[in-house]
Chains A and B, each alone.
Chain A
């Protein structure tokens, strides 16, 4: 498959006139997409000034020089914009790379028209989240039937990245007019980069659990490892749980109860509102990227320990994965975290109503679910959401990637405000992991030690 652009479809947003050409509604004479460059404006002066001077000075050679100007003016005016009839095809060396892989993009453009394209410029529509190592643009002249090739490399990052149409500019030989068009390229137009889910250090969870056995210690006595209490022996209690020491001392049978360890239902919620796309500098990954990274480590860690895990995005679009267990569920979670548009590396401009989202999220959230809220705490509302969910009985743990900088007063103030939000959440009894520059696993271990005290 290949993408073609010609006069009739050169402009992606053109309205088609009666003759099949795209016509600018504001200027019905000029076909849409044709831009006069204004380079030859004033050529008439080159004709008229020598003529005028020649007449006034009675100097015939000057009048003849004026004829030269007339020739130039006629050339500029008579030179029409070239017809753009090209085929563009894009090819990726690996359409499904791993994060950090270099992918070579090859763009081939063929002139399918009958005329020469003396000045053809192409700028590829590189996805906003991808950075290129070399210019993704080509300037060339193209004879009919010939093909020119543009090659550049991009570094893959998480997500499904769609290329925008290629921006094509074709000028006539004099450069007096140019044709401007956006042409969809054929071939591969999407790069899918799906990172593997890598389990981090085990994630310390809060006490809210399901009835299934797992690894979260509860206040319920039963089978387990950590001593909880003793109670009267009941018929049928296993012999290994009988308190034989007490029996030897007093002759009374009693049963040891251990802290039951149960599984939890955890919903990993990622703050991916437009306001959460923040980074301390241009080189660092943005906070949503880091939140998704945290989720990508938390989900397998929780699944490995037998907990039921769901995923949701506090963002426009319906990005939710019901809590579940198993390999298939892990694969679904991996795909959602990697490629769901709501978690894209760049924000969407879709409208978002946070209060409506919270209401719907609460309805969807299982009653016994804990919430692991990944948010950079960019505003007070994120802290309010965490507190509200916690108040409704869903034990909330906040993982907050720090996206603040301290090089200017405004940046420092944002850092102070964020630190205040963290303090406010902690004083409300919500666990907050303030994730700085250290790897998440290190921060989790440190936090686990602090929370177990």
Chain B
């Protein structure tokens, strides 16, 4: 760059000298080749500048929007961002796993706060999905609950789609439990009484009934997905 700049300065200086000392112009033979070469050089340089202009960044100072009032976040905005984020990077997977653990903690705390289960039974209820009518929510937080068809379909679209689907349904189920509606356990526990010990046979029957209900709900859910 320095060499070309020096060459340019020298050429311009020579041009000025030629204006005074015309005889120096005779040093160059203004043949066809020389003039054509100068023309090509000018054209190439011109095109180079034109190309620079095409890619050049036009700057302007940002003035901001002081007229707008400061907006505060809505509780849960950060969670929405995490839920909506796509991708399969290790960081994304780690964050989703942490969020999953948090959801489970919230579910256990909600059930405890509602008093639907004794403290010792809360983890079991979440494990076997007995805490909710929603098969997707039951599967999402449970440990040995089979994935409903709707969730399996989402899995085909990617783990992030499956995660979003599971979170949305689980949060809905949690909100329903929190507001006192849709607690599967409330009906079942009302019959037996939350603190009344059950026999093994009753437990098996209740589990089978719940599994059946979940399967029906899952089928209904899958059907609804297909219709949608």
B58 and A415 contact, CB distance less than 8 A: no
Having A126-B66, A410-B81, one finds 4 other A-B pairs with CB under 8 Å, namely A36-B59, A37-B58, A131-B67, A413-B76
Complex CA gap A53/B45 in Å reads: 12
B113 and A423 contact, CB distance less than 8 A: yes
A409 and B171 contact, CB distance less than 8 A: yes
Residues 62-94 of chain B: 1 if any A CB is under 8 Å from the residue's CB, otherwise 0?
011011111111111111111100000000000
B72 and A412 contact, CB distance less than 8 A: no
A130 and B69 contact, CB distance less than 8 A: yes
B36 and A55 contact, CB distance less than 8 A: yes
- CB within 8 Å for A410 and B70 given contacts A38-B56, A56-B36: no
A169 and B47 contact, CB distance less than 8 A: no
The residues of B that contact A35 with a CB separation of less than 8 Å are 59-61
A406 and B175 contact, CB distance less than 8 A: yes
- Kindly state the interface size class of chain B when it binds its partner: 35 or more
Residues 369-406 of chain A: 1 if any B CB is under 8 Å from the residue's CB, otherwise 0?
00000001010000000000000000000000001111
A413 and B74 contact, CB distance less than 8 A: no
- Kindly state the interface size class of chain A when it binds its partner: 35 or more
A415 and B175 contact, CB distance less than 8 A: yes
CB distance from B73 to the nearest CB of A (A): 6
A52 and B42 contact, CB distance less than 8 A: yes
The residues of A that contact B73 with a CB separation of less than 8 Å are 277-278
Residues 129-148 of chain B: 1 if any A CB is under 8 Å from the residue's CB, otherwise 0?
00000000000000000000
A412 and B41 contact, CB distance less than 8 A: no
Complex CA gap A300/B59 in Å reads: 55
Which residue of B43, B57, B64, B172 is within 8 Å of A38 (Cβ)? B57
Segment of B19-27, B103-111, B151-159, B218-226 engaged in the interface with chain A: B103-111
Closest to B50 in A: A45
Which residue of A43, A121, A129, A427 is within 8 Å of B70 (Cβ)? A129
Is A92 close to B, CB under 8 A?
A: no
The residues of B that contact A152 with a CB separation of less than 8 Å are 67
The residues of B that contact A46 with a CB separation of less than 8 Å are 46
A121 and B109 contact, CB distance less than 8 A: no
B74 and A45 contact, CB distance less than 8 A: no
Residues 144-183 of chain B: 1 if any A CB is under 8 Å from the residue's CB, otherwise 0?
0000000000000000000000011001101100100000
Complex CA gap A286/B71 in Å reads: 9
B110 and A420 contact, CB distance less than 8 A: yes
B178 and A414 contact, CB distance less than 8 A: no
Report B's interface with A, CB cutoff 8 A. 35-36, 38-50, 52-54, 56-61, 63-64, 66-83, 103, 106, 109-110, 113, 167-168, 171-172, 174-175, 178
Of the A-B pairs whose beta carbons lie under 8 Å apart in the complex, a sample of 22, sorted by A's number, is A37-B58, A37-B60, A38-B58, A38-B59, A41-B56, A42-B56, A52-B46, A53-B43, A55-B42, A56-B39, A121-B63, A129-B70, A136-B67, A277-B73, A347-B72, A403-B75, A408-B76, A409-B80, A416-B171, A417-B106, A418-B75, A420-B106
A416 and B106 contact, CB distance less than 8 A: yes
The residues of A that contact B106 with a CB separation of less than 8 Å are 413, 416-417, 420
B172 and A412 contact, CB distance less than 8 A: yes
Complex CA gap A405/B80 in Å reads: 12
Which residue of A38, A125, A410 is within 8 Å of B76 (Cβ)? A410
Which residue of B47, B61, B168, B174 is within 8 Å of A45 (Cβ)? B47
The residues of B that contact A39 with a CB separation of less than 8 Å are 58
A52 and B39 contact, CB distance less than 8 A: yes
Is A164 close to B, CB under 8 A?
A: yes
B72 and A277 contact, CB distance less than 8 A: yes
Closest to B68 in A: A131
The residues of B that contact A67 with a CB separation of less than 8 Å are none
